[in-house]
């Protein structure tokens, strides 16, 4: 029992370093851009949650939320390429995991302006982080194409999961949202 507690404590202390994708990509250009959102738990969970949340919406919000995220993230990436930093960037990213997880968990349907504004704000923090982590000697345009494509694919994956699951599985999506929100709390505490 003592060994198990010790191993758990070691894993807990080492895990925050694994949660963030903001260091040392050894690829260049396109592949580094693809890797950034996929290899960071914070980015991965937020981007999947945007797709899940979009699929829970009606009408134009289904496409507006993912497009807003991708566009605002690209704008943030360009700011990051220029060296612009925003205060509390990592907190904003972790907060996005919590917020999007909660929105999925309760299947929230907010007014379109609020949904788009919230999505844009959080996407900007993700984009700046991507941009600031441009690997040395990498093409900024290839890198941007990579993180945009990976983000769109993650949104699409989340969307497809919700739209093609049987209606009886809807509670599983909400549970996944709650789990994502829990991960957001953990990321904020790390």
The per-residue pLDDT for 77 is 94
Higher pLDDT, 104 or 13: 104
Q: Which two tokens stand for residue 87?
A: 């205060």
pLDDT band at 4, cuts 50/70/90? low
For residue 162, pLDDT over 60 is answered with: yes
The per-residue pLDDT for 138 is 78
Q: Which two tokens stand for residue 67?
A: 């497009």
The per-residue pLDDT for 3 is 52
For residues 54 and 114, give the distance between their C-alpha atoms in angstroms, rounded to a whole number. 14
74-119: pLDDT as tens digits: 999 999 999 999 999 999 999 999 999 999 999 999 999 999 999 9
């Amino acid at each position: 029992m003592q060994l198990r507690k010790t191993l758990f404590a070691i894993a807990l202390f080492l895990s925050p370093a694994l949660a963030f994708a903001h260091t040392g990509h050894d690829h260049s250009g396109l592949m580094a851009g693809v890797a950034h959102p996929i290899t960071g738990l914070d980015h991965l969970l937020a981007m999947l949650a945007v797709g899940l949340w979009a699929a829970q919406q009606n009408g134009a919000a289904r496409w507006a939320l993912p497009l807003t995220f991708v566009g605002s993230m690209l704008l943030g990436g360009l700011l990051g390429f220029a060296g612009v930093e925003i205060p509390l960037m990592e907190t904003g990213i972790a907060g996005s995991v919590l917020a999007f997880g909660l929105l999925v968990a309760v299947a929230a349907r907010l007014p379109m302006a609020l949904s788009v504004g919230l999505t844009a704000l959080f996407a900007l923090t993700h984009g700046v982080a991507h941009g600031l982590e441009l690997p040395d000697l990498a093409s900024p345009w290839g890198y941007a194409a990579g993180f945009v494509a990976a983000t769109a694919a993650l949104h699409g994956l989340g969307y497809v999961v919700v739209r093609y699951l049987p209606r009886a599985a809807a509670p599983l999506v909400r549970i996944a949202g709650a789990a994502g929100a829990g991960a957001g709390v953990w990321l904020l505490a790390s």
